[in-house]
Amino acid sequence: MNTEEEPEVVGTISNINMTPVIVAAIIGLIFIALFIILRKRSSARRDFLLTGLSESGKSAIFMRLLHKKFPETYVSVKENVGEYKSGGLVGRIIDIPGHYRVRDKCFDQYKRTAKGIIFVVDSVTIQKDIRDVADALYTILSDIATVPCSFLVLCSKQDVATAKSVKVLKQSLEKEMNLVRGTRGKLVVLGENETNKPSYLGKNGKDFEFSHLQQNIQFYECSAKEGQLNHLTDWLDRMLSPGGVWYCRT
């Protein structure tokens, strides 16, 4: 009896649709590349810059935070650098001199490695120094290099009876920074290019508010003299934690 043999079907690579495999491989490579880039950026930014006007209390906060000491008088003429440890994680604290002749130059040196910026405001003399404080803070916030940073505005010397509260200080700063923004908007800087051009702060047509900014900005009170730095240490711990969010706004 004649039997018809069925032809054997042999699968070959050419019969297989490779498109899904290729797409999956490309997506996987993209995710790996993004992960590596983000890890490099995160590790590159490990500094916390302690800045503000001269005699605002920055260096006293630095000494109390890292060395558990309170100097009665301490005026820094160069940056102070120390390590802050949170569990097994370490961040570098850099106390930027407050004098205008060295402040900007020193800040420029470290701004691209900053993960967070702590701007210290003297809560006692804020009314007298409001213009200078607002001008210095505006300069930092409008710097493109600081956009990835989280910001903490630290209202110091809260142990003094005449110290202004966070609420009053924040409102005063918003009003003054609105004026600073208007003044700077009218200035024409010769030779300015798009690379060095400072970013516009806030929303066009609206009064300045910190909530309108890209950066995540927090306001807290402190007293280096009485060792009341818990808000600062909590903030630093959050920033250093593996899931710490240091750029929150889009």
In this predicted structure, what is the pLDDT of residue 248? 40
Q: Is residue 138 within 8 Å of residue 204, measured between CB atoms?
A: no
In this predicted structure, what is the pLDDT of residue 73? 63
In this predicted structure, what is the pLDDT of residue 157? 96
Decide if 22 is inside a domain.
Answer: no
Residue 64: domain span: 45-240
In this predicted structure, what is the pLDDT of residue 74? 62
Decide if 228 is inside a domain.
Answer: yes
Decide if 11 is inside a domain.
Answer: no
In this predicted structure, what is the pLDDT of residue 16? 62
In this predicted structure, what is the pLDDT of residue 22? 78
Decide if 99 is inside a domain.
Answer: yes
CATH number of 225's domain: 3.40.50.300
Claim: this prediction has a pTM higher than 0.85: no
In this predicted structure, what is the pLDDT of residue 243? 60
In this predicted structure, what is the pLDDT of residue 116? 95
pLDDT in tens, 197-209: 667 898 988 999 9
pLDDT in tens, 153-197: 999 999 999 999 999 999 999 999 999 999 887 774 544 555 556
Q: Give per-10-residue mean pLDDT for the chain (250 aa).
A: 52 62 77 56 75 93 91 75 90 92 91 96 96 96 93 96 96 96 73 59 92 92 93 94 53
Q: How many domains does the chain have?
A: 1
Decide if 25 is inside a domain.
Answer: no
Decide if 121 is inside a domain.
Answer: yes
In this predicted structure, what is the pLDDT of residue 200? 81
